[in-house]
A = this chain, B = another copy of it.
Amino acid sequence: MDVVSLAHGSGGSLTGALINDLFRRHFENPYLTEAHDAARLPILSGKTAFTTDSYVISPLQFPGGNIGKLAVCGTVNDLAMSGARPLYLSCGFIIEDGLPLSLLETIVRSMADAAREAGVLVVTGDTKVVNRGAADKLFINTAGIGEIPPGIDICGSNATPGDVVIVSGSLGDHGATILLEREQLGLAANLASDCGPLGGLVAAMLSVCPQIRVLRDPTRGGLATALNEIASQSRVGIELDEASIPIKPAVRGVCEMLGLDPLYLANEGKLAAIVPAEMAEQILAAMKNHVYGKEAAIIGRVLAQPVGRLFMRTPYGSRRILDVMVSDPLPRIC
């Protein structure tokens, strides 16, 4: 079986072959083809958004995606959550000696497919190979550049009492899927990661309401962690209606068996939005028209009190605090 070896990361002719035969072939675009130390990109017309994430997920492949698709969608989504149009990605591979080349190619092909769907170009990259035992198969870092259109000001501190909380679909799918894949629980739930690029959905939302206050993709730590951060940054309270939160029965089942709360599980293709109340229905309608927002729902509201707190109103009328998570039960979820 052909595998990646240390020589592929040495900067010599095998590195060149890997770059030309694999990365350039799949990511083909004029900026990458120039083969500079740095890609030279056209002048950007708006403010620049810049973000990075490393992906260390285990296993590398899972229902609904793989580490490559995740590495593109995750960074595209971080750009989109600032209101930016995602444009360019960098990509750094850290590969353990012995990784099958066919698996690397599968992952790179998924990255190229996801980039095409998201409308971004992978314009610069780097490959390092480390000895066996020095990494777990493959880690990928992506950094992304996007352009923020004039007039957009989306920020975690913008939530205002009276605003409405919307989510784009069911919560916890990614976390529950990885949990099942990894822990060999013997459960046969029909689950897949929601991993997907949200730039188009955000553009559709901004086209009906440029005054969206906050956008957040609830990855590590899930929706509860993302909304706790917003409550704290905006110095507001946030109240959710338990009955209105979309959670798939299979996710709920896995969580009940294992004593987990789906609101703390990672999502990789969902967003939470805080929007002015008077625009909420129009935004919701725009979301439902988009492939990544079909199950969007209004799930709560922003209150003046208690500052920095997230809580849940149950169908029985009681309220409970959703506290900041100290530690995720699942390492290496993304």
Contacts and interface: CB of A to CB of B under 8 A. Distances in A.
A34 to B, nearest CB: 7
Contacts of A325: 10-13
B44 A40 contact: no
Size bracket of the A interface: 35 or more
Contacts of A227: none
A139 B46 CA distance: 33
B43 A48 contact: yes
Contact of A331 (B6, B45, B328): B6
Given A128-B54, A331-B9, A36 B156 contact: yes
A130 interface: yes
Interface stretch (A102-110, A118-126, A164-172): A118-126
Contact of A326 (B13, B88, B220): B13
Contact of A131 (B52, B216, B331): B331
Nearest to A136: B134
B324 A13 contact: yes
Contacts of A88: 50
Interface string A307-334: 0000000000000000011111001100
Interface of A: 6-7, 9-15, 34-56, 58, 77-79, 81-82, 84, 88, 90-94, 123-126, 128-131, 133-136, 139, 141, 143-146, 148, 155-156, 216-217, 219-221, 225, 233, 324-328, 331-332
Given A38-B82, A129-B331, 13 more contacts: A11-B219, A14-B326, A38-B79, A38-B81, A38-B144, A42-B48, A50-B124, A52-B124, A53-B126, A58-B134, A130-B331, A131-B332, A135-B139
18 contacts: A6-B327, A10-B327, A15-B220, A36-B82, A36-B155, A38-B79, A38-B82, A40-B48, A42-B48, A43-B44, A48-B145, A50-B88, A52-B90, A52-B124, A56-B130, A134-B332, A135-B135, A143-B143
